[in-house]
Amino acid sequence: MEKTNFPIKLVYANSKEETTLYGLLINFGRQLGLNEKELPSTGLSISEVFKRLLHTIDQGKLNTVFVIDEIDFLAHLVSKTGNDILYQLTRANDRLQNGSLTLVGISNDLTFKERLDPRVISSLGEEEVVFTNYSVDQIHKILEDRIQSAFVGDAVEKSALNLCAAMAGREHGDARRAIDLLRVAGEIAEREQQDKVTEEHVRQASQKIEEDKETIALQSYPLHEKLVILGVMKASGASTGEIYTAYKDLCKIVRQKELTQRRVTQMLSEIELSGIISGRIIHQGIHGRTKKFKLTVSPETIKQTLKKDLTLEDII
């Protein structure tokens, strides 16, 4: 690449961690070197943000590779919002003169392409590479290697090692999950001043990891998304309209101007993607159908996490 003087720029984002299409594109823009003035975090249309990204690629004569992890979540978000950024990404090279854009999507869902717009599929020109999941035996060997590097001799009981491998093997053969389990189990054993990591430490580690994921997700939301989540908590199992009423009441308490019901409905769909809430379509006969939402995490977790926000501490 040095001979051609055509630099490659690799940018990465996990669409499961980005709650909006706008946020995903801003993430790409920051990695391309665009600052807040050049690409504001709010206030532009999706098409304008994308236009500025392409201008940066063209101006820098960049051969850009956009890597989107968990791309099935992006596809789901596109279907919810109707803004088909995937189609724009696959057609981006038609608008570039001095640079190029290559899209790499990573997903554990082998069927997600079936939900894509036919135009996207025809534009992809994709090459599909399938990585098989690790078996329990393979994860076991990976962990054995890590234990030699990270622990003193005989510090991890064989049963604890087997449990780590088995738990990760059940969860889609995820080696990262197994390594995290082992690391957190070791930290728990160390805090308890134990000489060995046991099965109980692994079980405690599994519970802690799940709680930490939920806490991080909740803390990352802007204020109005947090108010919507609290609205779901106060009206659990309720319809969008009932949640919106609860949300408006909360806005009054914290002296925030309420958003429109349409925007709150979009937020509910976006939050649903993160797994914090779940929605279910209810058919009501001649009255049509409605969607009802409920929390998938405990109300106590919601309260303990969101009360750290000074704006919300008085309503929790």
Structural domains in the chain? Answer: 8-124 (3.40.50.300), 136-216 (1.10.8.60), 221-306 (1.10.10.10)
* Predicted pLDDT of residue 81: 67
Where are the extended beta strands (E) located within the chain? Answer: 8-14, 63-69, 100-106, 238-239, 277-283, 289-295
Average pLDDT, the chain: 86
* Predicted pLDDT of residue 287: 65
Q: Rounded distance, CA 159 to CA 140, Å?
A: 11
pLDDT tens column, 298-309:
888 899 889 888
pLDDT tens column, 69-116:
988 888 877 776 666 788 888 889 999 999 999 999 888 776 777 767
Q: What average pLDDT does this structure show over 51-77?
A: 90
Strands 238-239 vs 100-106: parallel, antiparallel or unpaired: unpaired
Question: CB under 8 Å to 237, separation ≥6 — which residues?
Answer: 292, 293, 294
C-alpha dihedral over 308, 310, 314, 316, to 10 degrees?
A: -30
Tokens of residue 225, six digits: 């998304």
Binning pLDDT at 50, 70 and 90, where does residue 315 land?
confident
Contact predicate 163/138, CB 8 Å = no
* Predicted pLDDT of residue 129: 75
Greater confidence, 123 or 9? 9
* Predicted pLDDT of residue 143: 94
Binning pLDDT at 50, 70 and 90, where does residue 2 land?
very low
Q: Is 97 helix (H, G, I), strand (E, B) or coil?
A: coil
Contact predicate 197/284, CB 8 Å = no
Q: What average pLDDT does this structure show over 271-292?
A: 80
pLDDT tens column, 186-216:
999 999 999 999 999 999 998 888 777 778 8
Binning pLDDT at 50, 70 and 90, where does residue 1 land?
very low
- Strand ranges of the sheet holding 277-283, from the earlier edge strand across to the other edge: 238-239, 289-295, 277-283
* Predicted pLDDT of residue 83: 64
> Is 0.85 surpassed by the pTM of this model?
no
Binning pLDDT at 50, 70 and 90, where does residue 4 land?
low
Contact predicate 11/33, CB 8 Å = no
Binning pLDDT at 50, 70 and 90, where does residue 5 land?
low
Q: What residues are paired with 102 via a beta bridge?
A: 65
Question: Is a pLDDT exceeding 90 seen at residue 270?
Answer: no
* Predicted pLDDT of residue 217: 82
Q: Is 65 helix (H, G, I), strand (E, B) or coil?
A: strand
- Residue reference for tokens 């596109």: 78
Q: Which helix (H) or strand (E) holds 238?
A: strand 238-239
pLDDT tens column, 147-165:
998 998 899 999 999 999 9
Which amino acid is present at 188?
I
* Predicted pLDDT of residue 125: 65
